[in-house]
Structure 1
Amino acid sequence: MKLQQLLSHTRKAVDEYQMIQEGDHIAVGISGGKDSLTLLYALHGLKRFYPNHFELSAITVDLGYEQCDFTPIKELCREMEIPYHIVKTDIAQILFEERKEKNPCSLCAKMRKGALNQAVKEIGCNKIAYAHHKDDIIETMILSLFFEGRFYSFSPKTYLDRMDLTVIRPIMFVDEADVIGFKNKYNLPVVKSACPVDGYTKRQYAKDLLADLNRQYPGIKQRMFTAILNGNIPGWPERIPYIR
């Protein structure tokens, strides 16, 4: 996927769900993975021509794994002239050494989001962008359907009233396969996850199931995504069709 295609998908999401208003200061959550770095490129590119002017900052929650070196991301943000903030935490130590969690994902996500949201407010941002792509949205629906008994996926835009902060997901129309292609084409400085349970989660199960279904029934992934968009899921904002 070329940058122009990425920007087109991003513009579509931003416009259809009114994600960016004039004067916004958006924090881009950077995990170091391919998805968040693709999002950074997308919003940096969009900023150059989008009619609503906005500012960007990048922010990483350092979970405390010694193997993770975010220097390449610092350099990328310097080249893009985007302020980059690293929030140091002891989350990894708490989960795996102190609590010895066998299923740490839920608690890790809660602690990570808490640290991220607090830091975002401290640097003066009113919005935070998460790098959830199309596959993430479908996988979340599968997990919700299988393990919670409801048809649900996270919203393109969510207002967190306790934090007075809005979460947006600008690459929601981008396939994971295209993110991988973008990463390879532009040689993104990915920082590999050091989490010991990475790849062994329920989400990985949903990812593998979705890939298998789409191989057996070509096009089923897009049909599932269309069902989500048209599903009147509680909490989702009104969708305004994007006109090129």
Structure 2
Amino acid sequence: MAHGGGEPEVQLGGKAPAEESRDIVAMLKVLSIEQAQRANEQARRADEQAQKMDNCTLEFRDMVQRGLSNVKEEAREFTVGMCDQIKKELREEVGELRRVLEQQVTKPETDIGTGLECGDRLTCPQLEGKHDHMVSPVPVSVGDCEGFLRYLGNPVTPPSHRRLSAPVLTPPASPSSSPPPQMPMLMGDYPRRRKPAEFDGGVAWEAYQAQFDMLANAQGWDEKERVLQLVACLRGTAVERCIVQD
């Protein structure tokens, strides 16, 4: 209610509108500042989380690279080790095969040399003492088997046609005129019957023929026995040729 003098009326227990406006503005400023702080805090936390994720990603990538490097190294070492082992085994197999081939090449040469030497000297150390029962030589021509070889379809002309015969064993002269009494032969004194080696075409025919002739002479075989023994000794390609010719 207005009094005299025209002074404005002031309400008791209240504020003026201008003062209330200032309070509202101050309150809004405080709220905006708090919101900005909260936003900054959230942004800072988000940055920290992103940094942590980046660090984890880098660590995982490094771990994967180290694992791949280890796997590659192990694979390389395993490959090198297996290659070395295979090379070693191959070298051993090649060396063994070479030794076998050298033995197979050397054996026919040795057999040929032994047969020729025995034929030249008309004696052989392997047959000494095993043909004492023979009193006369049984001549055997090297060409005896030529017809049989032609029958097999593999004609071979030997380098020579010399005859191989066992040496004539003459008893030493006795000082007395009467011959010494003959002792009866025991079971162990009889000559042991030997079989000729098998012939499969792997060795030279001349070497095999020389050995066969010497054994036949030592055993005292006749022509029929020689043919039977020779046919029984055929093996491999020799038998196949014989069957084809039949």
Q: Which TM class, normalised by the smaller chain length?
A: under 0.3
Higher share of residues assigned helix: 2
Higher relative contact order (CA 8 A, sep 6+): 1
Structure number with larger C-alpha Rg: 2
Higher share of residues assigned strand: 1
